[in-house]
Amino acid sequence: MSFEPLRIGKYEIEYPIIQGGMGVGISWENLAGTVSKYGGLGVVSSVGTGYRYPNYVRLKDGRPVGSKYIHNKEALTKILQDARDIAGGEKAVIGVNILCAITDYGRVVRDSIEAGANIIISGAGLPLRLPEYAEGSDVALVPIVSSARALRVICKHWKKKYNRLPDAVVVEGPKSGGHQGIPYEDCFKPEFQLENLVPEVIEERDKWGDFPVIAAGGIWDKKDIEYYLSLGAAGVQMGTRFVGTFECDASDEFKKVIINAKKEDIKLLKSPVGYPARGVITKLLKDIEIGQAPEVKCTSNCVVPCNHGEEAKKVGYCIADRLGDAYLGRYETGLFFSGSNGYRIKRLVSVKDLMRELVEGIPSGQDIPENEEIPSKI
């Protein structure tokens, strides 16, 4: 099966593959730029950009101080410029992922547009005011939803208040890495699995227009892509699979954690954001259970639901600090997000070879058979 291009708003993506936004520091200029270079849609995460260029921000104990510096405009602008250069220049299409839950959400949307984002993808909450923050621009707007009902709420609100509809929608199932959009117990129910969500979201989409529906969460190979396209999706979004590439912006330590993870190591975790999050069980998570995790200080004030560290204290860790440590390569105190299939990554490959595998079915060597020796080093 050959793939048709994916059109989002006025932008055409050669292959119907979106690289999911991953923060802190997993999908910045190198990964996003290279994915776009080889025909997918590369997506920069807007979360925690102050860690990428600490010389742009005010720091306290090595942490960006406050939302202005944790989600930093100057750093995001530089990341986007560099991603576009890597992708091939001004005509390259680059997306930005923005969590609805972050502090200064509206400001970060405007910052992304000023920095040159072509497409904004937004979840971790309902982006009801996204068109307001993007007013006056031609950026394509793509909400992430976890149900047909969520899409209905968004379309109804956007149409009534802004007289517009999404340019596409991502429907994300509960096998994705990072934060989920549904309560913990729902993540295991059949009705919330991606294969059941996609037809329902398409049915709801049909009531509003013909914008693309993009499937996300646990998608691994060309066979998976073909399956969701057969259900009516126009494309897919994949995050964790791209962590296993040389170009991924994650630290070597982060990649080692994923490569060494076993299936049973990847679990749903409590998060200060208020949604369950999927990641790898490491020493940090064990320390949290016995009350020996690093002290919660809330230096960065990164997300609204955390309420200046109150929720972080309840769950036992600061998500900005722990994701920041993962980006910095600090295994002992880092939090390492992964999708449910992350354990299948057993060595690094290039984005070029991975894209060829996803599009043409030519094995990249990233997913090593069980009887084959696993490299000890990345």
Report pLDDT digits (tens) over 95-138.
999 998 888 999 999 999 999 999 999 998 999 999 999 999 99
**Side chain identity at 339, as an amino acid letter?**
G
Task: Give yes or no for a cis peptide into 145 (omega within 30° of 0).
Answer: no
Q: Tokens 């913990």 label which residue?
A: 184
DSSP-derived pairing of the beta strands 178-179 and 277-280:
antiparallel
Q: What pLDDT is attached to residue 337?
A: 96
d(CA 32, CA 82): 10
Superfamily classification of domain 6-54+67-249+347-360 = Aldolase class I (3.20.20.70)
What is the residue whose two structure tokens read 């969590």? 99
**pLDDT tens digits along 179-236:** 999 999 999 999 999 999 999 999 999 999 999 999 999 999 999 999 999 999 999 9
Q: What pLDDT is attached to residue 378?
A: 46
Q: How many whole angstroms separate alpha carbon 146 and alpha carbon 157? A: 17
Read off the DSSP letter of residue 156: H
Do the bridges between strand 277-280 and strand 266-269 make them parallel or antiparallel, or are there none, so unpaired?
antiparallel
Q: Are the C-beta atoms of residues 40 and 19 closer than 8 Å to each other?
A: yes
pLDDT at res. 313? 87
226 CB neighbour count, 10 Å cutoff = 13
Q: Could you tell me the sign of the dihedral formed by the alpha carbons of 23, 26, 30, 35, in that order?
A: negative
CB 26, CB 249: distance < 8 Å: yes
- Retrieve residue 137's tokens: 């621009």
| Whether the Cβ atoms of residue 117 and residue 95 lie closer than 8 Å to each other | yes
Q: How far apart are the first and last CA of the chain?
A: 32
pLDDT of residue 60: 86
Nearest C-alpha neighbor of 76 from the set 34, 35, 115? 115
What pLDDT is recorded for position 208?
Answer: 98
Q: 57: Cβ–Cβ under 8 A, 6 or more apart, which residues?
A: 50, 64, 65, 69, 70, 72, 75
Residue 170 identity: V
Note the pLDDT of residue 369.
52
- The tens-digit pLDDT sequence of the chain (378 residues) is 789 999 999 999 999 999 999 989 999 999 999 999 999 999 999 999 998 999 998 888 888 787 777 888 999 999 999 999 999 998 999 999 999 888 899 999 999 999 999 999 999 899 999 999 999 999 999 999 999 999 999 999 999 999 999 999 999 999 999 999 999 999 999 999 999 999 999 999 999 999 999 999 999 999 999 999 999 999 999 999 999 999 999 999 999 999 999 999 999 999 988 889 999 999 998 899 888 888 888 777 777 667 778 888 888 898 889 999 999 999 999 999 999 999 999 999 999 999 999 999 988 888 855 444 444 444
* List of residues 6+ apart from 279 with CB closer than 8 A: 177, 178, 266, 267, 269, 285, 335, 336, 337, 338
Longest dimension (CA), the chain: 58
Q: Are 296 and 358 in contact (CB under 8 A)?
A: no
Task: Identify whether the C-beta of residue 242 lies closer than 8 Å to the C-beta of residue 188.
Answer: no
- What is the pTM (predicted TM-score) of this model? 0.93
